[in-house]
Structure 1
Amino acid sequence: MNNELTKKQTYNLNKLQKRLRRNVGNAIADFNMIEEGDKVMVCLSGGKDSYTLLDILLNLRINAPIHFDIVAVNLDQKQPGFPEHVLPAYLESIGVDYKIVQENTYGIVKEKIPEGKTTCSLCSRLRRGILYRTATELGATKIALGHHRDDMLETLFLNMFYGGKMKSMPPKLMSDDGKQIVIRPLAYCKEKDIIKYSEAKDFPIIPCNLCGSQPNLQRQVVKDMLQTWDRQYPGRIETMFSALQNVTPSHLCDPKLFDFKGIQHGTVFEGIEGDIAFDKEEIVTPKFDDEVEQYAEDGLIQFKAVE
């Protein structure tokens, strides 16, 4: 019985790994995230997302049609009780080049932010500056972050609800000074898949005493809302994420994105939907991963979307 359970667990883990590999490979291909000769700096926090990101990228590199290097970087923010030995021991055990950067951002955040206030904004700015500097020192051409599909949707709703903007996390972006390119290879991956994978791989998770310990965070409120929708209306999350990839500027209200003033009698805009927006909408049922699992190649991902 135990042998059968082990076989089933192994089968499920392989299936889950294939799905994550496929999603990461598709994201890399769709947004040209990694190119020949790149040195990818994987930001490793010690959480489930960054561990999964590093693991999948290392796995993909084996059969990738291009050569790229990987270096893992952890920012030790000097949080009290942070187990400094965990990440070096793990990275040495899997033979990955790495660098541990020690900066007391924890002390700065605790000094500057009043007790009870959200620390995320200042903390993220400090981390970003340090990681950009480290990427330059290491000669990294890409900075890989572990944000996934659910993070992107949460950010969309956070910006709409609290910021009055319709924007999310882009899968790929250029830093303001034009010197760094940030990529998010997990952009197509579900958080629940990452959780299962992290548990199955038994990564040595290190909790964050800044972010995770703050009650009533706006992001947590949005996360709870999306998870409730996912339970009550299966497929809604997939449909919403599809909407991020299917934007019609002419049917929104931003004159910077579409020339509404230029609309006059007789004007025809090529490729614009026009008044078909008033037709009955066709509801597209998203394909679930399990339905296309049979099309995944066994371990051979070539940074090309599976049709």
Structure 2
Amino acid sequence: MNAPHMNDTAADGAAIEATVADTGRRALTRREQKEAYENNKLFKRIVRQVGQAIGDYNMIEQGDKVMVCLSGGKDSYAMLDVLLRLRERAPIDFDIVAVNLDQKQPGFPEHVLPEYLTQVGVPFHIENQDTYSIVKRLVPEGKTTCSLCSRLRRGILYRVAGELGATKIALGHHRDDILQTLLLNMFYGGKLKGMPPKLQSDDGKNVVIRPLAYVKETDLEKYAELREFPIIPCNLCGSQPNLKRAEMKALIREWDKRFPGRVDNMFSALSNVVPSHLMDTAQFPFASLRATGEADPQGDIAFDEEPCASGDDTAAPGAARPNAVRPISIVQFDDL
């Protein structure tokens, strides 16, 4: 029996449909390839920036035990994820232990982090402390609980670090957090003070590091979505939001959109400080300043306006790098 056949019109129609379908599949493949390319660029950028920050400030040293504070938010997830990847090819040996403080907030999903950390295969410790009840008892209704909660949390984490033998405490603050803190201190505190990438804790017993110091929050948002981290909401306590910090966040986002390069220049300024051109007598000996008769490249022009770039986009986005000697190279970037 001869095989059935279509007329020419039907055959042409079927061929067109097949061509359209094939074209759609090819277009989808191209989109997928582009997405994969952009995702790879994102990962490499974040890894490079974290490695750069670690090297610039000597955050992690040979034999360190790094306590990664994991809240269940996008930032701490990304920090842990990148540190685990960097450790695989770092030229030094260091250990990682993830720590979460379960403050017994109503609705907190206690199973999420243990399940995730077990799946990832990283040692972890869940510290159970009912600070929620303490804060609710001490803070009047309607008042923000963030300040007291933060102090309680900090003290507990310092204690846990000692009990676990951790030599470094890693927090998930990023570039935008640092700039927000700078603006908050300027606008509401009357001081030039940011959020350092590395510091000694106020009890003098711990070193706190911020490996995400160079990373933009928008990149972390994309990375968390890409990696599908099991995000835990940050407002379970029902506390009022930090409106001033939210205001600074919105301001920085708006500047970044309207004036490309402005936020990068602001961040770069944090590592290019000229104390002699500020007004803090504790940072520069103005009272004893005398003419030496020798030229000073940092000296004031005095009678003329300080030469300044004419736009917001003069500094390259990658210009925010301190002029510090990097004692270690945490990763070989050529291998990524």
TM-score (norm 1): 0.90
RMSD of the alignment, in Å?
Answer: 2.2
Residues 7-26 of structure 1 mapped to structure 2, 5 A cutoff? 7-26=33-52
1:287 is the counterpart of 2:313? no
Residues 161-200 of structure 1 mapped to structure 2, 5 A cutoff? 161-200=187-226
- Is the contact made by 1:49 and 1:147 (CA closer than 8 Å) also made in structure 2? yes
Q: Deviation digits for residues 146-188 of structure 1, max 9, x if unmatched?
A: 0000000000001111111110110000013321000000000
1:48 is the counterpart of 2:77? no
Matched residues in 2 for 1:144 and 1:271: separation?
38
Matched residues in 2 for 1:240 and 1:212: separation?
33
Matched residues in 1 for 2:250 and 2:142: separation?
21
List gaps (5 residues or longer) in structure 2: 1-24, 319-328
Identity %: 61
List gaps (5 residues or longer) in structure 1: 290-300
Tell me by how many angstroms 1:127 deviates: 0.7
TM-score (norm 2): 0.82
2:240 alignment partner, one of 202, 208, 214: 214
Matched residues in 1 for 2:259 and 2:237: separation?
29
Report the counterpart of residue 146 of structure 1 in structure 2: 172
Residues 114-263 of structure 1 mapped to structure 2, 5 A cutoff? 114-209=140-235, 214-215=240-241, 217-263=243-289
Report the counterpart of residue 325 of structure 2 in structure 1: none
State the one-letter code of the partner of 2:305: F
3-state SS, counterpart of residue 147 of structure 1: coil
State the one-letter code of the partner of 1:37: G
- Is the contact made by 1:28 and 1:303 (CA closer than 8 Å) also made in structure 2? no
Alpha-carbon spacing, 1:304–1:214, altered in 2? closer, same or farther (3 Å): farther
Alpha-carbon spacing, 1:138–1:270, altered in 2? closer, same or farther (3 Å): farther
3-state SS, counterpart of residue 42 of structure 1: strand
Matched residues in 2 for 1:272 and 1:210: separation?
51
- Is the contact made by 2:132 and 2:237 (CA closer than 8 Å) also made in structure 1? no
State the one-letter code of the partner of 1:15: K
Matched residues in 2 for 1:89 and 1:68: separation?
24
Which protein, 1 or 2, shows the higher relative CO under an 8 Å CA cutoff with sep ≥ 6?
1
Tell me by how many angstroms 1:262 deviates: 0.9
